[in-house]
Amino acid sequence: MEIHELIEATREWGKSRGIIGANGKGTEQSQFNKLLEEVGELSGAIRENDQVEKIDAVGDCAVVLILLAEIIDVPFEECLASAYAIITKRTGKMVNGTFIKD
C-alpha cells in the first residue's frame, strides 16, 4: 500500500473501533496516553535492540498520531507538512548523535 492508502486505512480502522468519527469516543488525552505507552514500548525495543519490536512500536506511534490528528480535526498529512516546512529551514549541528537546532 502507498502511504496515503495506509493513512486512510488507519482512519477507517479507528472509525470501526469507535476511536474517531461521528461516534468516536477517543479523546486528545486518551490518545496522548496511548502515545506515551507506545513510546515506552519503543524505548524497551531500542534498549533490547529488538528490530521487530522497534518496527512495530514506530508503526504503533504513527497510528496513534494519525488518530490524534483526526480528534483535533487536522489531517495528519497537514500536521506532517507543517512540521516538514519548519524543519527544512532549521540549522544546527549534530552533538552526540542528536541534532541540536540553532
User: What length is written for the chain?
Assistant: 102
> CATH assignment of 3-101, given 1.10.287.1080, 3.30.910.10, 1.10.540.10, 3.90.1150.10?
1.10.287.1080
All structural domains of the chain with their residue ranges: 3-101
| pLDDT band at residue 53 under the 50/70/90 scheme | very high
Q: How many CB atoms lie within 10 A of CB 24?
A: 15
pLDDT tens-digit map of 5-45 = 999 999 999 999 999 999 999 999 999 999 999 999 999 99
pLDDT mean over 61-83: 98
Query: 72: Cβ–Cβ under 8 A, 6 or more apart, which residues?
Result: 28
Provide the strand spans (E) within the chain: 92-95, 98-101
* Amino acid identity for residue 53 in this structure: E
Query: What is residue 73's predicted lDDT score, i.e. its pLDDT?
Result: 97
Query: What is residue 33's predicted lDDT score, i.e. its pLDDT?
Result: 98
Query: What is residue 63's predicted lDDT score, i.e. its pLDDT?
Result: 98
Verdict on whether the full-model pTM lies above 0.75: yes
Query: What is residue 80's predicted lDDT score, i.e. its pLDDT?
Result: 98
